[in-house]
Structure 1
Amino acid sequence: MVASGGRLGRAPWRPGRACALTTLLTAAVLSASTLLADAGAATSVTLDRIWGADRYETSLAVTKRFVAEAGGRVDSAVVVPGTDWRDAVIAAGLAGSLDAPVLLSPAAGPSATALEVLDHAGVSRIVVIDRARSLGASALERLRRRFADVELLSGSDPSALSATAARRLDDLGRLPEFGRTAMVASADVFVDAMVAGPVAWRGQHPILLTSRDALGADITSALAQLDVEHAVIMGGPSAVSQAVVGELIAARISVTRIGGATRFDTAVALASFVDGAYASEPDAKCFDAAAAGVATARSPFDALSAAPLLGRRCSPLLLSDTSTPDRATVSWARARTPSLTLFGGTAAISEAAAGVLQSDAPVYEAAAAGAEHTCALEVGGRIVCWGDDSSDQLDAPPGAFAVIAAGGRHSCALDARGHAVCWGDDSSDQLDAPDRAFAAIAAGGVQPQGATAMGFSCALRRAGGAVDCWGDDSYGQVRHAPAGRFSAVAAGWGHACALRAPSGEVVCWGFDGRGQVSKAPPGRFFAVAAGAWHACALRVPDGAAVCWGESAAAQAVAGSYTHVAAGADVTCALRAPSGEVVCWGFDGLDQISEAPTGAYRSVVASAWHVCAVRVSGEIVCWGDNSEGQSAVPLVLGPPTA
């Protein structure tokens, strides 16, 4: 419902020259995974935090900052109830057309302090967006007595209200090469709509909230009435399905989907998509990541007023978990953003998370642990290694890689084409990888106590999933590789294991001195790891760890896990859903007792040390450090060419 008529607006922002925008496709998809490789060199990050005692005080603090950066005077403000995030995200585009802040209000209306701030700023027009009429009649009456022009927008549901707010825009914003643009997000997923806010405010793009599988009559009508030429869909098909894409294309509206593997990736993808898309002044770029905002991905309420402030600054909104920021956010912030504004107090984004964002430590995708050396894959594909260099294990190749693995005294990596490159010890021809494309690789030979390190590797062909092995064949771990199609492969000291596709059956071959081959369990599994004299796999559907072979390392701790790694005499896994590291087996070098706390995305185990990659992209290693293999360097030198 619209309480009064007439269009609202200021002169619209006109987009400047496009900067590295994608070529227009009927249904383009942009994700963060292809963006971080171009992040560039890291810079020192400075932090600012805007917060209050509750969501309303935080919103008021953001509004004060907006007014100050607008020169102390604003004509209009948008007021929304602080109980429904949908009202606030719908407000972003309309607030942009008014050059206005968005203020959260309790049911009784804005506080006396908030009203004084609006008065002092010279506000004369208030637009209230309140779908469910959460603000009482007395609150609206107080606003009407205090301000010259008060308008209420409400609606029967979020989609209807978003369509109503879209029609109130004075002039729909345009994206270079794309034309008149609206943003489409799920009415059930707050993060996708929230991160769209700064772009919607800056570009005067309405945020239209839809159901997963259909636009609905209200949005369809608004798209036609506004002559929308291009839609930016926020999130993947699980949020906004391909059926909605089909509706838009049928209406002759081009589509760009902004999505990633996680909500953090989606925020980074949007930030990259709009990089340089709006001119804040002649020959200047907007959304070029000179600054950014960061909000918690757990709750919307601390950041619902952030869109106008960040839009005015030409700054994207990134996401963080409360305790640990995701590696996509960390990498983006360190590589491109010298200034971050955090929205909310430490209950939203902890001091520990803020410290990670501000740190200059490298950001990693993965780690690999050899006998006495460690290698890691940085975001962007660069490989760095540390620890024992007696066989040139630290002589990592230049270039960008996608996958990494470490064996006894050698390591291997796959480049973007799937071609394997190996380095280090070559005493058993373990560096002579076949010249074909692989999808996964495992390096073996990590020795148990009292044994000699061997070197071999196994990989899965990209086409067909067959296993290829090369290097030391003392126990038939090369020549006895099974035929068939496989989905995962692991290499131990003298044996290897793989998971058949699509059955998930475990198949092992090679040295069987402790039953690590013959005692492979029946059933279906989704992950497998091979240690020196044991192996473990994670069972479908419960994620339980099932281990066999050498008894000490094979006594799995009960629980559900997402990732498993096996070393010489130790096994570690990541507990679901927390990402906590859990280890069992030999603890002679504190591989179990020193396991760190926190949330991790992967873990690797070797002869006597273990490493894990935090969700933020930092690496933590523990256990044996006799060759410096557990001492993760803070500065690893300039990137290799």
Structure 2
Amino acid sequence: MNKSFTTASLAVLVGLGATLAGAVPAQAAAGFAFDDRIAGPDRFATAVAASQLLEPTDGAATDVVIVNGYATIDGLTASYLAGLKSAPILYTDTAAVPAVTTAEIDRLGAANVWIIGGTNRIPTAQEDAWKAAGKTVTRIAGADRYQTAALVAEAGGTAEEGDNPNGNAPEQVFIASGTATADALAAGPIAWARNYPILLTEAGTLPEVTQTALEELGTDERVVLGSTGSISEAVYTQADATQRLGGTSRQDTATQIADYATSSQNFDTQSVALVGGTDATAADALAAAPVAGSQGVPLLFLDFDGTPGATTTAYLSEHKANYTGRGTGWIFGGTSAVPQAAADAATATVQ
């Protein structure tokens, strides 16, 4: 499935709307607040909460994407595959599938289970159990994160094969660091909504599997995510990249991606989401991608100390005229990831 995101389609989303810049008030509406928190007691339950928001109707989903909840590096590109299938991203553990995940797969009624990652992260026994339950199970896994990303990127078909959902190459490809993972996570909602694959690279060397994937996808628009510290100019040149979205920190890069989402990808200017800014909270950002993508909502990262920080605060202040009563202030993750004090501070910034 290839979704075409338009400003008109965003306007009909529940609780959202897109208005012309000249029609918004000079400051945020008094009712705008970061008070819509999607969270559970742990990362597995938070992913389930996001899934329930994405698909509230029991038995209505055909696909679900599964990633190891403690090895989200395997799933950095899962947002693209989930977008192709209009699916949520749920988490499992190596030892066993959490009960909340099993219950959600049953509630969704998903017939197709897509596993991203090798058997060292998601054992064969889990795959076999889903097959025994009558589900079609497809595992996408390479020798390393770079090959896995390439295989995921090619799941929708390539220009060479001629079976891409568009009948040709994807409109655009993201290229992100395979080690500085936050940049790929910030672009997850766009990847889900617009069906843009995410390929991974090393900082100073473009892996051969990534180069090959770029050639096979046949996409001319190649957007690098992250600063030159994450992806060097040499790699940018080697990848024939056309644009860089990269700031001085993961928070800064996320604001640039957010501006890109609202200015050129038809994302909603009146809503915005907060997620934790540490590596430990990366799971919440990945699980957020399908919901944020479906609602056209960009993600912003908190600082490492659990506060909005200077960069995110500056972005919110700059855009506060856009945040009206028709928009929503989202939070993905519990109070350990996004403290209530941080949510209150962000609300105060836009008032």
Tell me which interval the TM-score lies in, with the shorter structure as reference length: 0.7 to 0.9
1:302 aligns with 2:284: yes
Look up the match of 2:212: 221
Classify 1:109/1:291 alpha carbon distance in 2 versus 1 (closer, same or farther; 3 Å): farther
2:203 is equivalent to residue 207 of structure 1: no
Rounded Cα–Cα distance in structure 2 between residues aligned with 1:206 and 1:308: 14
Task: Show CA shifts across 1:25-82 (max 9, x none).
Answer: xxxxxxxxxxxxxx963444322112222211211221222111x7861110000111
Indicate which of 349, 358, 364 corresponds to 2:347. Answer: 358
Structure 2 equivalent of residue 320 of structure 1: 302
The partner residue of 2:125 within 128, 138, 144 is: 138
Confirm whether residue 50 of structure 1 aligns to residue 38 of structure 2.
Answer: yes
CA distance in structure 2 between the partners assigned to 1:333 and 1:352 by the alignment: 16
Deviation at 1:159, TM superposition (A): 0.7
Q: In the alignment, which residue of structure 1 is the partner of 2:152?
A: 165
The residue type paired with residue 307 of structure 2 is T
Tell me the percent identity. Answer: 27
1:194 alignment partner AA? L
Contact 2:146 2:200 in 1 (8 A): yes
Question: What letter matches 1:41 in structure 2?
Answer: Q
Q: What aligned pairs does 1:239-388 form with structure 2 within 5 A after superposition?
A: 239-249=230-240, 254-275=241-262, 277-278=264-265, 286-299=266-279, 300-321=282-303, 322-333=305-316, 335=320, 336-337=322-323, 338-360=327-349
Which structure has the larger Rg over C-alpha atoms?
A: 1
Query: Helix, strand or coil: the match of 1:104?
Result: strand
State the SS of the aligned residue for 2:55.
Answer: helix
Shift of 1:326: 2.1
Q: Residue 190 in 1 paired to residue 181 in 2?
A: yes
Instruction: Specify every segment of 5 or more residues in structure 1 that has no aligned partner in the other structure, as ranges.
Output: 1-9, 18-38, 279-285, 363-641
Indicate how the Cα distance of structure 1 residues 317 and 361 shifts in structure 2: closer, same or farther if over 3 A, else same. Answer: closer
Displacement of 1:15 in angstroms is 4.8
**How far did residue 179 of structure 1 move?**
7.3
Q: Contact 2:255–2:315 (CA<8 Å) still a contact in 1?
A: yes
Alpha carbons of 1:235 and 1:132: their partners in 2 closer, same or farther (altered >3 Å)?
farther
Correspondent of 1:14 among 4, 16, 39: 4
Give the superposition deviation at 1:90.
1.4
Do residues 154 (structure 1) and 136 (structure 2) align? no
- The answer to whether the 8 A contact 2:272-2:297 is kept is yes
1:66-77 aligned at under 5 Å gives the runs 66-68=54-56, 73-77=60-64
| Conserved? CA contact 2:59–2:110, under 8 Å | no
Match of 1:41 in 2: 27
Normalising by structure 2, report the TM-score.
0.83
Superposition pairs for residues 415-426 of structure 1, below 5 Å? none
After TM superposition, list the pairs within 5 Å mapping 1:531-546 onto structure 2. none
Q: Tell me, in whole angstroms, the C-alpha distance in 1 between the residues paired with 2:46 and 2:270.
A: 24
User: Structure 1: how far apart are the matches of 2:270 and 2:39?
Assistant: 22
Q: Is the 8 A contact 1:125 1:147 kept in 2?
A: no
Hey, what does 2:14 align to over in structure 1? none
Tell whether the 8 Å contact from 2:186 to 2:285 is kept in structure 1 after alignment: no
How far is 1:276 from its partner? Answer: 5.1
Which letter maps to 1:292? Answer: V
What residue is the counterpart of 2:19 in the other structure?
none
Distance change in 2, residues 1:144/1:184 (3 Å) = same
Partners of 2:263 and 2:6 lie apart in 1 by 8
Paired AA for residue 154 in structure 2: R
43 and 332 in structure 1: CA distance in 2 versus 1, 3 angstrom threshold? farther
Q: 1:109 to 1:304 in 2, by over 3 A?
A: farther
- Which secondary structure does the structure 1 equivalent of 2:291 belong to? helix
Matched to 2:37, the amino acid is R
Structure-2 change in CA distance of 1:87 and 1:289 (3 Å): farther
Tell me if the contact between 2:54 and 2:290 (Cα under 8 Å) persists in the aligned partners: yes
Considering fraction of residues, name the structure with more helix: 2
The equivalent position to 2:67 in structure 1, one of 66, 80, 97, is 80
CA gap of 1:172–1:293, structure 2 versus 1, over 3 A, is farther
Deviation at 1:344, TM superposition (A): 1.4
State how many pairs are aligned. 317
Structure whose residues are more often strand by fraction: 1
Matched, 1:236 2:227: yes
Look up the SS of the partner of 1:127 in the other structure: strand
Contact kept in structure 1, 2:47 and 2:90, CA below 8 Å: yes
Equivalents in 1 of 2:248, 2:124: separation in Å?
Answer: 44
Contact kept in structure 2, 1:295 and 1:344, CA below 8 Å: yes
Determine which structure has greater relative contact order: mean sequence separation of CA pairs < 8 Å that are 6+ residues apart, divided by chain length. Answer: 2
TM-superposed CA distance for 1:260, in Å, is: 1.6
- The CA RMSD measured in Å over matched residues stands at 2.5
Match of 1:106 among 84, 93, 97: 93
Task: Name the amino acid aligned to 1:308.
Answer: P
Measured in 2, the distance between the counterparts of 1:214 and 1:202 equals 29
The alpha carbon displacement at 1:116 in A equals: 2.6
Contact 2:316–2:350 (Cα < 8 Å) also in 1: no
| C-alpha distance in 2 between matches for 1:157 and 1:290 | 39
How far off is 1:126 after superposition?
0.5
Distance 1:330 1:359 in 2: 10
